[in-house]
Structure 1
Amino acid sequence: MTLSRRDILGAGAGLSAALLTSAAAEAAPEDKTLGAIAAKSAITFGTSIAADTLTSPAQATLYLEQARIFTVDWAMVFGNLRPEADSFHPGDADAILAFADEAGLPVHGHSLAWNESRPDWLMALSKSGKQKALDRHIDETVAYFAGKLTAWNVVNEPFWPGHGLPGDFRDGPWLQAFGQDYVSRAFRRTQMADPNARLVLNETMTEVWTEDGARVRAGLLNLVDRLQHDGVRLDAVGLQGHLDPARPHDDAGFVDFLHQLAERQVDIWITELDVDDSSFPADIGLRDAAVAARYRDFLNAVLTVPAVKTIITWQLADSASWYEHAAREANPDATRLPRPLPFDSGFRKKPAFDAIVTALKGRAL
């Protein structure tokens, strides 16, 4: 059976999800999937998902089979929802939510306040105009999706030392509008619009063992302290985990950082896990083994921390990876394509799958 884009993105989304859920059950025994294996170790395993996944029955089946939570990939970021000042385009997000709902899977929204999603019309506004834009975006967007999302990445990537600003905050429209207080403002307004959604602060580069990584970690701990001191509800801290083995890393040091976060009584999520394989040999067998080893070592370390509750890969199959999209955009004729995820472009398991399973099964409860 071939499912069209209209079948899944339109009125047939629910039926298509039901059919694919049945197909997923036949494709892999429940106790052999990443989601089921993770659950036995008190971990919710999931993946990001984009609307184009829904037009590929094989990919959609894989995602339903393996995941126990979806993160919306790009469909909910500011620039996608509001490409023009008076527009609101939730269609792709609505399709993902309908698909997940039919399968009984929770969805994690990504993201409300991210300084890198800044269409030209937004940047042309005055300071007061940007202030109104953020308040309106959070109030209207969270209200629109209220009751349909289990959690929100309320603020994404608040830090970037390279911008040279006080506190190492990332520059952008929201920092320009409110200063550092945009973070607490976003959390308070999100809670008001949907009191039942879990509120997550999501950050990148914390696993990188460089001066910039250290500054991001320090800034993040300080921000968590400030939010808690000010009575702002913060349920979880998300750490992206875009692993680049070519950059310095220290898994034991990262675990120490996770314990510091855990002492602040927040759950910890790994929210965008994948492995950059660009520094590995061209040979696919050697490269896949190296990617698997990085997954194994990172997760073996991370999963020793009880506060780690959720592991989400940034897509599941190589063909959906942002690394592959970037490689094809740079060179449409490229013969070496990235292989950063646990399934290949044909949706077959790779050594990374087995490495993740081994790490999950090795978690001591």
Structure 2
Amino acid sequence: MGKKSFQKIASTIRSHKKIFLAILIVFIITGSLISFLLINRYVVPADYDVSLSEPIYTSSNIPIGVAVEPYKLKSSENYKTLATTHFNSFTPENVMKMGPIHPQEGEYNWEDADFLVEYAENNSMQIHGHCLVWHEQLPDWMENYDGTSQDWKNMLKLHIQTVVNRYKDNITSWDVVNEAFLSHDYRDTIWYEHIGADYIKYAFQWAHEADPDASLYYNDFSLCTNIPKLDFTVEKLGELIGEGVPIHGLGFQAHLTSQSFKYDIIVDAINKVNQLGIDIRVSELDISMNLLGCYQKYTDYICKKQQEFYSDVVRAFSKADSLTGITLWGIHDAGSWIRYFRGLDWPLLFDEEFNPKPCALSFQEALIQYT
């Protein structure tokens, strides 16, 4: 660029110096504002001192539950205190799944499940059974089972009815079948492969035979966010209910994320299920705030967003014609399955030190207002 060009630019700036000064000021302010927002979002840690004056469950007319592990109830006083103080319903996180409870053909491991049932009864708490049929956490002998389709049906029936019969005086509701559907089809599981789609129908019928008084649920994930999957689920459940299959409710797992949380979509999903005339449970609630791994600490920004989300999820599910419970999938952030499988996150109501987070208070306030 030559001397004349510089002189021309300088002359232009002198002629319009007020405009250029204004632009410079805006640039500085905007840049500072962006920097402030970025710092607040990613750097400034959440600073809170929350006190819950009453147990969370007392704020609602429906059961407010939590998924628990017996070994944690035995080993952690803080864990046990929160579980029994703030919740009035337990869901076994793992110990009633097929692998843990039925490790060998013809042999059942009742120890942990019995402990949990007895512990709940001693503390005047309900138990929601989870889960009778799933394609994950299977014992080796089931995965390698060799037999005809009828043999597979006999094996599955025996498992379901043995477990339900043992706890028919203690457990009043069950997740019977877990995660059987995809967006437009049945999930290709070991049960689908060897028995066919009717394994779902049989499972509910067999559970109902074992305990006619129990409420029986189908349970699945992404029903709040994946519209095609929700529609397929509603379609298939509607067909089964129309055939007289004893399906009493649908469990929305509600493993939500800050990226996927959309209040209106959740309400639309609930309205579709309402048309089936069955109960709705929020069966496995947590709200991931760090799915993409952008945060290294629980910041003020995500703390406030999480407060909004926990309030809105209660508000959304209050649209259910028959909401029969809300269960958190874990007690505190450090023990969440999300940290184990995905990495650093803060999805639950209590922090690493077992202290209530602001979202615990917003959740409780929403329960008071909407349930």
With the shorter chain as reference, the TM-score category is 0.7 to 0.9
2:164, 2:353 → 1: CA distance?
36
Cα 1:342/1:194, change in 2 over 3 Å: same
Quote the offset at 1:123 in angstroms. 2.2
| 8 Å contact from structure 2 (residues 224, 269) kept in 1 | no
Select 1:173's aligned residue among 184, 187, 190. Answer: 190
| 8 Å contact from structure 1 (residues 118, 173) kept in 2 | no
Structure 2: gaps (5+ residues): 1-50
Task: Render the CA deviation track for 1:187-224: whole Å, top value 9, x for unaligned.
Answer: 0100111112111111111112xxxx222101211122
| 8 Å contact from structure 1 (residues 147, 196) kept in 2 | no
| 8 Å contact from structure 1 (residues 130, 173) kept in 2 | no
Counterpart position of 1:83: 103
1:72 matched to 2:92? The reply is yes
Select 1:52's aligned residue among 71, 93, 97. Answer: 71
1:159 matched to 2:181? The reply is yes
Select 2:322's aligned residue among 298, 307, 310. Answer: 307
1:186 matched to 2:203? The reply is yes
Select 2:311's aligned residue among 290, 296, 316. Answer: 296
1:284, 1:221 → 2: CA distance?
37
| 8 Å contact from structure 1 (residues 115, 175) kept in 2 | no
Counterpart position of 1:103: 123
2:295, 2:312 → 1: CA distance?
19
Task: Render the CA deviation track for 1:34-71: whole Å, top value 9, x for unaligned.
Answer: 100022xxx22111111122211221111111111111
* SS of residue matched to 2:362: helix
1:71, 1:264 → 2: CA distance?
25
1:358, 1:266 → 2: CA distance?
27
Alignment length (residue pairs): 315
Max Rg structure: 2
1:121 matched to 2:141? The reply is yes
Quote the offset at 1:232 in angstroms. 1.3
TM-score, length basis structure 1: 0.81
Counterpart position of 1:347: 354
TM-score, length basis structure 2: 0.80
* SS of residue matched to 2:212: coil
Match runs of 1:26-41 below 5 Å: 32-39=54-61
Counterpart position of 1:257: 269
| 8 Å contact from structure 1 (residues 274, 313) kept in 2 | yes
Counterpart position of 1:131: 153
| 8 Å contact from structure 1 (residues 46, 67) kept in 2 | yes
2:297, 2:52 → 1: CA distance?
29
Counterpart position of 2:251: 238
2:160, 2:129 → 1: CA distance?
12
| 8 Å contact from structure 2 (residues 270, 320) kept in 1 | yes
Select 1:228's aligned residue among 220, 241, 245. Answer: 241
* SS of residue matched to 1:70: strand
Runs of 4 or more consecutive aligned structure 1 residues displaced over 6 Å after TM superposition: none
2:120, 2:56 → 1: CA distance?
17
Question: Looking at both structures, which has the greater relative contact order when contacts are Cα pairs under 8 Å and sequence separation is at least 6?
Answer: 2
Q: Greater shift after overlay, 90-99 or 47-56?
A: 47-56
Select 1:320's aligned residue among 323, 335, 354. Answer: 335
Quote the offset at 1:132 in angstroms. 2.5
